[in-house]
Amino acid sequence: MVEYDCELVSMKSLKPRLLTAVIGIPLLIVFLLLAEVWLPVVAIIVALATAFMTGEYLNANKLLKNFAISAPCLIFSLLMPFTVSTDYLYMTVILYMLAMFILMIANHRKITYSELAYSVTGTFLISLGMSAIPLICSGKTGISFYFVTIFSLPWMADAGGFFIGATLGKHKLCPDISPKKTVEGVIGGVIFCVISAVLVGLLFQYLIMPDLKINFWALVLLGIIDAPISIIGDLSFSLIKRRYKIKDYGSIFPGHGGMLDRFDSIIFTAPVIVLLNQFIPIITVV
């Protein structure tokens, strides 16, 4: 994710980010249109993205080319978005765990338990987090709303943290992990996140989904929770990068690094909207 800087961003650093936005936003719109027509598109795209991020995560520890480890991890990442809302979820998890330990036993001279623990933990985290997207969209009501909310809130929290931190940031948050993040940036991220949640709600309530009722109090609560959770996600994957001495997980997004660099916070925040929606429904049919 973008680090909070104490100086204004130069045009040179903004150009690759703007290029990514110019390319990425139209792709997201096309994805939303396809998802509204054919729901399985959500699971297919999320599955591919999840497997790609799992590959980046394994590559950080030089385990991607160790096929005894990477193959079951990638297969599990592909399957999770399809099985998360079905009766096959438990079976998928059990088979994955059995496969990993069987492979470790069979290759005990080449695979250590620490490598197994690293692979299983990260694969579970990425797969379960991303699978929240097809899970929340499986109800066939408000697919575009949930999708836009899941992606826009953590990104706007990041933007708010970046700009507020750049102009007002004085108190470091976690200097050993992310030296440019500040407490002021966190507050700015929460403010931006709440405002964005309300704006998304207004957009869908009055222009896109007038036949559905949106709970704005739930959206405000979601914005308050999402911002700090997104920072936890960012810091968690930043800590892993520092441990393995890499700058980014990849280079697929100009100016943003790899896909895992861009979606690290969403892995943590996507399940939040699923959990909140279970207790406080965000959308109800009028």
Q: 113-163: per-residue pLDDT in tens?
A: 999 999 999 999 999 999 999 999 887 678 889 988 998 898 888 888 878
Q: 238-281: per-residue pLDDT in tens?
A: 999 999 989 889 877 666 678 898 889 999 999 999 999 999 99
- Which residue did the predictor score with more confidence, 112 or 30? 112
The yes-or-no verdict on residue 83 having pLDDT over 60 is yes
Q: What backbone torsions phi and psi does residue 88 show, to the nearest 5 degrees?
A: -95, 0
pLDDT of residue 118: 96
pLDDT band at 217 (very low <50, low <70, confident <90, very high): very high
Q: 219-244: per-residue pLDDT in tens?
A: 999 999 999 999 999 999 999 999 99
Q: Token pair of 238, please?
A: 């930043």
- Which residue did the predictor score with more confidence, 177 or 75? 75
DSSP code of residue 251: -
pLDDT of residue 163: 80
The full DSSP string for 53-101 is: HHHHHHHHTT-TT-HHHHHHHHHHHHHHHHHTTSTTHHHHHHHHHHHHH
pLDDT of residue 15: 53
**Which is nearest to 261 in space by CA: 272, 273, 271, 247?**
247
Count CB neighbours of 217 within 10 A: 10
pLDDT of residue 12: 47
pLDDT of residue 5: 42
pLDDT of residue 139: 73
pLDDT of residue 19: 57
State how far the alpha carbon of 29 is from the alpha carbons of 4, 21, 23, 24, 77, in Å: 28, 12, 11, 9, 24
Mean pLDDT (the chain, rounded): 86
pLDDT of residue 224: 95
pLDDT of residue 284: 84
CA distance between the termini of the chain: 38
Domain ranges of the chain: 1-39+140-286, 40-139
The yes-or-no verdict on residue 197 having pLDDT over 80 is yes
pLDDT of residue 254: 61
CA distance 170 to 190: 17
